[in-house]
Amino acid sequence: MNPRAKAQAARLLTLAPNRLGAFMLAACLALAGCGTAVRNPVTGQTERTVLDERGEIAEGTKAHQQILQEYGAVADPALQAYVSGVGQKLAAQSHRAQLQWTFTVLDSAEINAFALPGGFVYVTRGIMAYLDSEADLAGVLGHEIGHVTARHGAQRATSQARANVGVLAAVLGGLVLEGMGVQGAAQTLGNVAQNTAAGLVARYGREQELQADQLGAEYLARVRYDPGHMVEVIQVLKSQELFAAEAARAAGRAAPQGGGWLASHPSNDERLQAIRATAQRLAGARGPGSPGTGGDGRGASASAWEDDGRARYLRAIEGMTFGDSREQGVVRGRSFFHEPLGVALTAPAGWRIVNSGEQLVLVNAGRDAALMMQLVPEAVVKKAGGDHAAILRDALGATQGTTERLTLGGGLAATHFSGQRRNAQGQVGTLIATLANGPGGRMYLFGWDAKDAQALARARGALREAELSFRPMTAADRQAARPWKVKAVPMPAGGFAQLARSSPLPELALQQLRLLNGVYGTGETDPRPGQMVKVVE
């Protein structure tokens, strides 16, 4: 295992796609009368702050290391260099060109982007799969650069200090959009194991988001990208909302309500309207002879702007992992495979697998029972000498109850406990869990949870079925665990319908292919035959 996989195995089975809340910096801030007067580079106004530029850089640098440790960067130097090149071009024309800017593609399927104070900007490979051109990428990066140049993180830190909050949660905000995976997990789990969907941090305020949109459009115009591409970036968010609602309906779940953000934040409809106006204003300011703009906010003529770089962008993301990665473990239908750890598990019929948080969670159709799987830390296993009873007693606090010896898939030894546990504070509660040996000397914990005793009784057989499916990966499992990749292909005569027939995407393949190529929910026609489009293979 590489160092990142070893660190991962030491604490959990799968990387969390939206765990910024876990990075809150425990830096105590003085309250009344504290701070320094600084000039905001964007507005020109003087503001009182607990983070001057030096403080922004220091806190951003610390958090950057935590981000890399938790998410990991995509192991593709060419892709990293490409994204950094686009970002550096924009940053050089921003209000804070003097910062040492850092741009990183994170190894996460989450559709996301965010920034840290001090010039640290991140995009996930998840959001890159849904962008359609270099100019669209510039729109995402420009928005995040705008958060940094306008000092939004420092403003939040100052506001929290005045509200008697002793952590710099603001340092880790600034997301372009909420990760659909975590939002979906929260809805799926309901009242069961809600902690697995925790970690969302408060977003930037409404006015800050709108200002970042406007700054992003301005920075695009400064480097001769059509600022109307900011419209396309916001449309990506809007299309994701529409697709999430359609996917939920198709799966028999309630559609997500609202924009998925805090109520104080601008809806994507409002952001679309605002950015269209900004794009039209910037296009009109190109000077005598510059083109007008169409109703969508895009320049009516491309002559005033550089090429949108679509061909370059498609070359850059060719072969990029789509969805779950090998390092994170992949979900394929009812099965979960984690090749680095060498384990697989199959959910009972009708159960849903949620690969998020600090554990893998299997949830039943009624959303009132769940099985949670975690990797037991190596130090705990070593201290107990690999003895299940010692781990149950010393690490989990098991007291009185019953134990049962089991043999899981592939002959893996396991011990099931049902009874009481006492936590570190002396409180007594219920513990129903199974400890299982795994390949490579590792050990796994399967925790049973349910809304009430009746739900637990109904789910008992399925919970045991899921546990018994836990196994070392077979040759067939390894073949099924192959990650999907993004590829550009010419549009066939049969259009997306023809491509969908051979797509590995598990559900709504036709709609998702249109989403990947920017024509879902927009009223636009499909690309013409022969035009390059993105597919998943």
Say if residue 183's pLDDT is above 60: no
Q: Is 338 contained in some domain?
A: yes
Residues 426, 400 share a domain = yes
- Predicted confidence at residue 256, as pLDDT, reads 63
Residues 518, 418 share a domain = no
- Predicted confidence at residue 285, as pLDDT, reads 62
How confident is residue 283, by pLDDT bands cut at 50, 70 and 90? low
Best mean pLDDT range from 181-185, 324-328, 446-450: 446-450
Domain end: 303, 322, 341, which one? 322
Q: What is the pLDDT of residues 185-240, one digit of tens each?
A: 333 333 333 332 222 233 577 788 889 988 998 999 899 998 888 878 888 888 88
Q: Is 196 contained in some domain?
A: yes
- Predicted confidence at residue 192, as pLDDT, reads 39
Q: Is 408 contained in some domain?
A: yes
How confident is residue 321, by pLDDT bands cut at 50, 70 and 90? very high
DSSP state of 13: S
Residues 170, 86 share a domain = yes
- Predicted confidence at residue 267, as pLDDT, reads 63
- Predicted confidence at residue 145, as pLDDT, reads 96
Instruction: Give dist(CA 296, CA 301) in Å, integer.
Output: 13
Token couple for 253? 């779940």
Asked if 234 and 268 count as a contact pair (C-beta separation under 8 A), the reply is yes
- Predicted confidence at residue 268, as pLDDT, reads 64
Token couple for 199? 């970690």
Q: What is the mean pLDDT of residues 16-38?
A: 48
Q: Is 151 contained in some domain?
A: yes
- Predicted confidence at residue 327, as pLDDT, reads 87
Backbone angles phi, psi at 252, to 5 degrees: 80, 20
- Predicted confidence at residue 289, as pLDDT, reads 35
Q: Is 484 contained in some domain?
A: no
* Closest of 386, 359, 494, 374 to residue 434, by C-alpha: 374
- Predicted confidence at residue 252, as pLDDT, reads 78
Q: How far, in Å, are 122, 308, 417, 445 from residue 422 at the CA level?
A: 42, 61, 14, 17
151 pairs with which residues across the strands? none
Residues 465, 364 share a domain = yes
Q: What is the mean pLDDT of residues 24-50?
A: 70
- The SS3 of residue 8 is helix
- Predicted confidence at residue 355, as pLDDT, reads 85
Q: What is the pLDDT of residues 410-452, one digit of tens each?
A: 999 999 999 999 888 888 999 999 999 999 999 999 999 999 9
Say if residue 180's pLDDT is above 50: no
Determine the longest span between alpha carbons in the chain, in angstroms. Answer: 83
- Predicted confidence at residue 232, as pLDDT, reads 83
- Predicted confidence at residue 307, as pLDDT, reads 84
Backbone angles phi, psi at 332, to 5 degrees: -130, 100
Q: Is 150 contained in some domain?
A: yes
Q: What residues make up the domain containing 122? A: 3-322
Residues 505, 368 share a domain = no
Residues 212, 169 share a domain = yes
Q: What is the mean pLDDT of residues 86-108?
A: 97
Residues 188, 75 share a domain = yes
Q: Is 486 contained in some domain?
A: no
Token couple for 134? 């270099």
* Closest of 440, 424, 434 to residue 378, by C-alpha: 440
Domain end: 322, 357, 385, which one? 322
Q: Which of these ranges, 175-179, 206-210, 218-222, 501-505, has the smallest mean pLDDT?
A: 175-179
Q: What is the mean pLDDT of residues 354-375?
A: 88
- Predicted confidence at residue 27, as pLDDT, reads 40
Domain total in the chain: 3
Proportion of the chain above pLDDT 70, given as a percent: 78
Domain end: 271, 297, 322, which one? 322
Residues 457, 506 share a domain = no
Say if residue 299's pLDDT is above 70: no
Q: With 0-12 CB in 10 A as exposed, 13-18 as middle and 19+ as buried, what is 113?
A: buried
The DSSP bridge pattern shows strands 120-124 and 102-106 to be: parallel
Residues 439, 293 share a domain = no
401 pairs with which residues across the strands? 419
* Closest of 285, 265, 266 to residue 220, by C-alpha: 285
Say if residue 40's pLDDT is above 70: yes
* Closest of 517, 480, 475 to residue 496, by C-alpha: 517
- Predicted confidence at residue 446, as pLDDT, reads 96
Q: What is the mean pLDDT of residues 358-386?
A: 92
Best mean pLDDT range from 280-289, 472-481, 520-529: 472-481
Q: Is 485 contained in some domain?
A: no
Proportion of the chain above pLDDT 90, given as a percent: 55
How would you label 383-400 residue by residue, b for 16+ Cβ within 10 Å and e otherwise?
A: ebeeebeebbeebbbbee
- Predicted confidence at residue 277, as pLDDT, reads 76
Residues 234, 172 share a domain = yes
- Predicted confidence at residue 80, as pLDDT, reads 98
How many Cβ atoms are within 10 Å of 226's Cβ, its own excluded? 30
- Predicted confidence at residue 175, as pLDDT, reads 33
- The SS3 of residue 255 is coil
Instruction: Give dist(CA 247, CA 228) in Å, integer.
Output: 29
- Predicted confidence at residue 245, as pLDDT, reads 86
Token couple for 286? 């190109």
- The SS3 of residue 350 is coil
Residues 380, 252 share a domain = no
Q: What is the mean pLDDT of residues 296-325?
A: 79
- Helix locations, 413-493, DSSP H: 453-469, 475-480
Q: What is the mean pLDDT of residues 69-82?
A: 94
Say if residue 361's pLDDT is above 70: yes
Q: Tell me what the pLDDT averaged over the chain comes to.
A: 81
Instruction: Give dist(CA 245, CA 424) in Å, integer.
Output: 43
How confident is residue 368, by pLDDT bands cut at 50, 70 and 90? very high
- Predicted confidence at residue 271, as pLDDT, reads 72
Q: What is the CATH number of the domain that holds 436?
A: 3.40.1000
Say if residue 6's pLDDT is above 50: no
Residues 347, 296 share a domain = no
Q: What is the mean pLDDT of residues 119-123?
A: 95
At a CB cut-off of 8 Å and minimum separation 6, what does 255 contact? 244, 245, 248, 249
